[in-house]
Amino acid sequence: MARFYKGKTKCVKFGLSPYEKKEKKRKKKKKKEEEEEEREEDFKVKKKKKKKKREEEEEKEEEKEEEERRREKKKKKKKKKKKKKREEERRRRRKRRRRL
């Protein structure tokens, strides 16, 4: 028995027409491609976000390290100043003692 279809008509006895089958395949394929592209885009976006986040964390760490270095330098300077003051005071005391 020959099957004849016209356009997009649906044959109840035999199912979908060849045109409809092709159309269905195209739609599935197109949908699959779109989903895949979307996944790839999402992946790229996530990757960029992760990279950006990592860079921000690295920057924060560097800033903290710099802050620590500054603090240490300040402490060292203070220590040096204190040491100089002590030495000067000692010298003065010695001079005073010698004079007396």
pLDDT tens sequence across 15-71:
677 788 899 999 999 999 999 999 999 999 999 999 999 999 999 999 999 999 999
Rounded Cα distance, 50 and 24, in Å? 38
* Alpha carbon distance 53, 47 (integer Å): 10
Say if 2 falls within a structural domain.
no
In a domain, 13, yes or no: no
Return phi, psi of residue 10, to 5°.
-105, 130
For 24, half-sphere exposure in the C-beta direction (CA atoms, 13 angstrom radius) is 9
Task: Yes or no: say if 20 and 10 are a contact pair by the CB < 8 Å rule.
Answer: yes
Residue 40 in any domain: the answer is: yes
Instruction: Provide the domain limits for residue 31.
Output: 19-99
- Does residue 3 lie within any of the structural domains? no
Confidence category of residue 1, pLDDT binned at 50, 70, 90:
very low
Q: Is residue 12 part of a domain?
A: no
Residue 77 vs residues 31, 61, 66, 89: alpha-carbon distances, Å: 68, 24, 16, 18
pLDDT at residue number 17: 76
Report yes or no: 26 and 12 within 8 Å, Cβ to Cβ: no
Q: Is residue 62 in some structural domain?
A: yes
Which of helix, strand or coil describes residue 23? helix
Q: Rounded to two decimals, what is the model's pTM?
A: 0.47
In a domain, 5, yes or no: no
Domains in the chain: how many in total? 1
